[in-house]
Chain A
């Protein structure tokens, strides 16, 4: 068994219309909340469908819990709960009837129905048919279905689609609690970083069928620091650059101004003192911080 709940290597998939995935590598550590990010059409859903065996694998390897789906489909799916794209909810049935259908499929005790309804806060829906539910309620019912058999891996495709801000917050709380309290590994896709930024521990960014980034959220934040810049403008920027280099900074001259990776407050203070001691007049020192959303847009090659 590998150290990963999900391990995908070199996954390539073609549809009749063209390639959807080109050599995707993706690894979800046990116990992680993995945010699978990318714009619409990037290949997120195709990857997740391949992961669950809903599409036939063409090239590459897919392992869940160190086993392949081709050889251990039943054993693997016993440990996986999923909701892909539009919620699979039988509109002519109530929430309890929907769950009873899947309870029989998963062969789990009847008490689980009340348990998962409480988890997703749908206990009071009574005889209301699912086609009368809001989209948010349908999303929560789909998650209840995915949780019914107490899976150790939850795969959710854009679970916040169609939810209002309060619903997104609730979903985040729910997934965080499942991960913290029950140790469920979660692979959740989204096309909006800010929706899952406060939830995930690991991030994978996919665009046009290729992975643009994979790592911890901290690693992505490190990129944020790296991508932010400090700009300095003095009465002699050439000399300012020279003084900066002597102070050990990675300084460049860009459009007549001195630029460098973002400085902390203390570093900015030291640089200001150095420039003054060198007899330079400081006109401006400013740091432009790039947020994660901009990093994400950079990774996917700018706004779509």
Chain B
């Protein structure tokens, strides 16, 4: 079973070659850090003081993750899932997939694994891009010193892992929707509506019930100490949602009358 899963997952990974997923992951990871980097050139005279600040990295981190956690990460998750499932829809691939001697569970989980790997790649690339946005001005602009303290790698990776966990339910719910509708736009439209709802109800005490809000809530809780009472920790809630959506998605997928 594991060997079959690995074979199918490697086959799935090959399918995304030359697709838009690589561009999407790279663009989404580089977007905010690029703006941060370019904005440094607006006030060159203030840069030495900014770079000597011991809080340079925490400030850069908070600044960079704001748009990422609240907007770019959820939207990119939605687009990635639609792009991956669309590969089969667009190329009549489902029927051929389902006529291969491979368990349905392996096909379902292999696609999910590729989606999660891409989101992980996005978070890792974003972390690297934030680091580069921090050190590059010191390397290319004369008179700008290196940051006063080293990059807090352990903290950065731990937070990146937390945001990745926050994204899990978005991926699994979007996957369920993509399998249900088998079009590019319908799951995206529903996802966008839910994401807008999560932003609009960010102050609502039950906002955590909308899976698209988890990264934003995590960001506000850790970076701005806006902690709100939750029935469980945010990773636990995200993990539970992920599990529920994944099981529901698989049951719907496996029981589908028309498999291609």
Contact = CB atoms under 8 A, between A and B. Distances in A.
Contacts of B96: 82-84, 88, 102, 145
Contacts of B19: 92
Contact of B17 (A82, A88, A97): A97
A290 to B, nearest CB: 38
A52 B8 CA distance: 19
A94 to B, nearest CB: 9
Interface string A180-192: 0000000000000
Contacts of A54: 95, 98-99, 258-260
A210 to B, nearest CB: 22
A105 B15 contact: no
Given A54-B259, A56-B257, A101-B15, A106 B92 contact: no
B91 A89 contact: yes
A82 B96 CA distance: 8
Interface string B240-260: 000000000000000001111
Contacts of A118: none
Interface in A138-177: 145
Contacts of B92: 85-89
Contacts of B100: 77, 102, 105-106
19 contacts: A54-B260, A55-B259, A56-B258, A77-B99, A83-B96, A84-B96, A84-B260, A85-B92, A86-B92, A88-B91, A89-B92, A92-B18, A93-B15, A100-B11, A100-B14, A102-B100, A104-B14, A105-B7, A106-B101
Contacts of B101: 73-78, 106
A101 B7 contact: no
**Secondary structure of the A side of the interface?**
mixed
B98 A88 contact: no
B15 A53 contact: no
Given A73-B101, A100-B14, A101-B14, 18 more contacts: A49-B95, A54-B258, A55-B257, A75-B101, A77-B99, A85-B95, A88-B96, A89-B91, A89-B92, A90-B87, A90-B93, A92-B19, A93-B15, A93-B18, A104-B7, A104-B11, A105-B102, A106-B101
Please classify how large the interface on chain A is, using the bins under 10, 10 to 19, 20 to 34, 35 or more. Answer: 35 or more
A82 B14 contact: no
Nearest to A103: B11
Interface string A51-83: 011111000000000000000011111101011
Nearest to B7: A104
A105 B97 CA distance: 8
